[in-house]
Structures are given as C-alpha cells and as structure tokens.
Amino acid sequence: MAISNGNGRDRGMMSEINVTPLVDVMLVLLIIFMVTAPMLTQGVDVNLPQANAKALRSDEERLVVTVDANSRIFVGKQPMKFNELSSTLQAIVARRTDRQVYFRADRVVPYGFVVKVIAEIRNAGIEKLGMVTEPLER
C-alpha cells in the first residue's frame, strides 16, 4: 500500500503488521485452554498428603496406582482388588520398558494398608516406586 504525504509524492510501502487478528486468535486460544485444562486431570480424586519435593516432568504417560479414601485400589482409572494387584502390575510392566510406578494414597487411608499396597507393588517386580504428594502450603 503506497502512502502519500499530501503533495503527490509517495513515501514508500507501509510495512506494519496488523496485530488485531493475532490478538483475537490468541485470546480465543487462551479461553479454550483455560476452559479445557481442568478437564484434563486424570485418575481418581484423592486428598494427597503434603510434602516438600520437586515437581515431576510429565513428558510421558506414567503408571499410577491410587488408593482412595475408602481404601479402594486403582491402576490408572481401573478399579482393582487387592489380591489381583500384583499379577496385574506384573502383566502391565512386562510390556513396558519403564518399570516405574507412581503411588498416590489419600491421607486418611490407614498407614498399615498403604504399606501392604506398597509391598504388593514391590512384589510385582517394580524397580522404582515414586510417591505422589501435594506441595506444602506456606
């Protein structure tokens, strides 16, 4: 687009970027991500204990064992009976190269039951067991 300075002489081409459509698109994407992000949480809702620890990188799908407030066991989102846990984990881990499991337990679950579940996970041949907690509130 040529710009005229009023006396008939052109100053050259206008090379400005119209940012209004860019801002509109970015705002729409921001709203979409803000609405959908809470829906992306996976697993079973538990009230995790709080601890001082580094956040985990989430670059790959992780195998998570969860014990909810009613002492029900879940592998991912799948409910599991206590006596089936070890054999199920053995079958899952046999197909994976990563032999790591993350364990989540609600803070109201009795300590003895948590230890029993951890023992079953270890008996399934799990080499690395990570404990999932909430960050400390300051």
Q: Which residue has the tokens 């801002």?
A: 23
Work out the mean pLDDT of the chain and round it to a whole number.
79
Q: Supply the pLDDT for residue 97.
A: 75
- What's the CATH class of domain 50-135? alpha beta
- Taking the C-alpha atoms of residue 48 and residue 133, their distance in angstroms, rounded to an integer, is 5
The residues spanned by each domain of the chain are 2-39, 50-135
Q: Supply the pLDDT for residue 44.
A: 56
Which is more confidently placed, 85 or 3?
Answer: 85
Q: Supply the pLDDT for residue 96.
A: 77
Q: Supply the pLDDT for residue 55.
A: 58
Picking from 86, 96, 97, the residue whose alpha carbon sits closest to that of residue 125 is 86
Task: For 76-91, write each residue's pLDDT tens digit.
Answer: 888 989 898 888 888 8
- Taking the C-alpha atoms of residue 103 and residue 113, their distance in angstroms, rounded to an integer, is 13
- Taking the C-alpha atoms of residue 64 and residue 8, their distance in angstroms, rounded to an integer, is 73
Task: For 6-17, write each residue's pLDDT tens digit.
Answer: 565 666 677 788
Task: For 41-65, write each residue's pLDDT tens digit.
Answer: 555 566 666 666 565 554 456 788 9
User: 48-75: buried (b, 16+ CB within 10 Å) or exposed (e) per residue?
Assistant: bbeeeeeeeeeeeebbbbbbbeeeebbb
Tell me the one-letter amino acid at 90: Q
